[in-house]
Structure 1
Amino acid sequence: MNPVDDLAAVLDSTSALVAGVSRWDAPTPCPEWTVRELVNHLVLGHRLFTAVLRGEEGGSLDPRTFDALGDDPVAAYRDAVAGLLAAFRQPGVLEQVVEVPAGTVPGIAAVQLRIVEELVHGWDLARATGQEAKFDDAMVEREIAFSTAKLADLPPERSPFAPPVPVAEDAPPLDRLVALLGRSPR
């Protein structure tokens, strides 16, 4: 699959999770964030990447700095998703070099970073809300390979995730990905 198609599939699955939220103040596996703050972080990330891909200045990823959700968090998330996908579908965007929070990367790596971010935070959201995260295992395996290869390239001060935690080799792919990025799937 095209990585932008993978991103669209992940965003679609996470959109279903966002639409299923009944308690926005619930805690998440990200200890400092509620469900609302987690979804706000995703929206801010989508908007930042959208701006960067369009050659504009991005904003903060800290959900405590700015509330991008307003009165309708589900609509805000869907709007941010639509903008992000449109930005990644621009001609030549996967070949251009962009500056994102993880560093200077080609567009193809930027899309992979968004996929990984969405998978991990989709898992967080599913855990926090008692929903099931429905992501394609083959796609998650591709992101495990990407993350494994790229983690060593990130300076420790720029890594957005915690150190890996142990997980069984035969664990489901999503559990292995979140463990690789510092979450305990147990």
Structure 2
Amino acid sequence: MPDPRDLFRSAVTAVTAVVDAGTDPDTETPCSSWTYGLLLDHLVSGDRLFVGLLTGTMSPPSSPRAAGALAEPVPSPADYRTWSSRLADVFDDTEITAREFQVPAGRLRGDQVIMLRSVEHVLHGWDLAKAAGAPTLDLAPVAAALEEPARHLLAAVGAQALGERRPFAAPVPVDPTASAVDRLVGAFGRDPGWSPDPVAGYARLVEQFAGHGDVELPDGTRRGFGADGLRTDGQVFACTHRGRLMIKLPAAEVDRLIRTGLGAPLAKPGQRPMREWVLVPFDGAASTRADQAYGFVSARG
């Protein structure tokens, strides 16, 4: 098994790229009732807490904080780097792995503490990526390396006990042939197929373009392809399709979104995928991508 300290640093590196993508702090996440901002705060405050616990400058709280009790203002990417780096430095102390510590999840050895924080960063990094519309590809190798030791950790702590400590949850059944990331997040209570609410997401986009004089909003009178779509110069640039946002973008950008796992191809049965159309979630990047689609179609009109 890789050194736990190396796994933690790899997890932090992968999540840093997600955090740097940024998004609206109020964006919903796969963790019910926890917004992007609250989860980022949870990660940063968690690292700050564990620095205190492992260095003896802080006692463990009697119970985890509720989502609504998380502090404001929302931490920045710089805050994430600062505290994850400080915790990594604490983990580098070779005496840490040999000692036992009383932490919110129970009494754990130092190497188990490192594993716990690594899992938290990968799990919540996945949450943040799903919310922000950022790639999760960099999390894959870390998740693969963490999967077996993470299951040992679950056995040591107890899945029920850990599930009671939000924002973990009870395990979700996942196909054994699924990716390592999906299996890991499922083991800690996430639905790998989660996506944001499409109805609320599209309503926000309609409101976003309501002030554009050259944009025709859906009025329920059209039928056929793009009936509920947003149009400019008579051409659809964004609409809903089977719970996702369908947008028109340059072929190169469509290819990039599909390649990074952020988008899915759009094709009629028995036909090749459309080169300039892609399906994306109504996540924190939906507004920006709809703007890109609007600009692309407007320029060609």
- TM-score where L is the length of structure 2: 0.57
Deviation at 1:27, TM superposition (A): 0.6
1:122-164: CA deviations, max 9, x gaps? 1111111111123454542332212222323335344433222
Report if the CA contact (8 A) 2:185-2:192 is conserved. yes
Partner of 2:40: 39
Q: Sequence identity, in percent? A: 31
143-152 or 132-141: which moved more?
132-141
Structure (1/2) with the larger helix percentage: 1
Partner of 2:19: 18
* Structure 1: segments with no counterpart, 5+ residues: none
What one-letter code is carried by the residue in structure 1 that aligns with 2:190? R
Does 2:121 match 1:114?
A: no
Partner of 1:181: 188
1:47-93: CA deviations, max 9, x gaps? 1111111112156653543426x475111111111211111112311
Structure (1/2) with the larger strand percentage: 2
CA RMSD across the alignment: 2.0
Pairs aligned (count)? 185
For residues 182 and 154 of structure 1, the distance between their equivalents in structure 2, rounded to whole angstroms, comes to 15
Report if the CA contact (8 A) 1:49-1:58 is conserved. no
Pick 1 or 2: higher relative contact order, CA cutoff 8 A, min separation 6: 1
Report if the CA contact (8 A) 1:101-1:158 is conserved. no
Q: Mark the CA change 1:71 to 1:29 in structure 2 (over 3 Å): closer, same or farther.
A: closer
57-66 or 166-175: which moved more?
57-66
* Structure 2: segments with no counterpart, 5+ residues: 194-301
Partner of 2:177: 170
Q: Mark the CA change 1:78 to 1:64 in structure 2 (over 3 Å): closer, same or farther.
A: farther
Q: Mark the CA change 1:58 to 1:20 in structure 2 (over 3 Å): closer, same or farther.
A: farther
For residues 154 and 181 of structure 2, the distance between their equivalents in structure 1, rounded to whole angstroms, comes to 17
DSSP 3-state at the match of 1:104 = strand
Partner of 2:69: 65
Deviation at 1:106, TM superposition (A): 0.8
